[in-house]
Amino acid sequence: MLEQTLVQCPYCGETIATEVDDWDCQGYIEDCPVCCRPIEFAVERDGRGDLVRWHARRDDE
């Protein structure tokens, strides 16, 4: 199942859409489609597997 959310790129500030298709995924890296820099996404889920938080940060933080 795909979950889509909007996040702000921590480099250029643009709002981008991204999605996770793996229920067990804890995080991943995806390049910003605007500035092409690598964004590290951290996924937090509750006990039922529902998305609680989707955090985007620079990969150099």
pLDDT of residue 1 exceeding 70: no
The tens digit of pLDDT for each residue in 12-43 reads 999 999 877 655 567 788 999 999 999 998 87
HSE at residue 29, side-chain half, CA atoms within 13 A, is 6
Cβ atoms of 48 and 33 closer than 8 Å: no
Q: Residue 10 — pLDDT band, cuts 50, 70, 90?
A: very high
Q: Could you tell me the CA-to-CA distances from 61 to 6, 36, 39, 40, 51 in Å, in that order?
A: 21, 17, 10, 9, 23
Indicate the pTM of the whole model.
0.72
Q: What residue segments make up the domains of the chain, in order of their start?
A: 3-58
Task: Decide if 9 contacts 56 (C-beta within 8 A).
Answer: yes
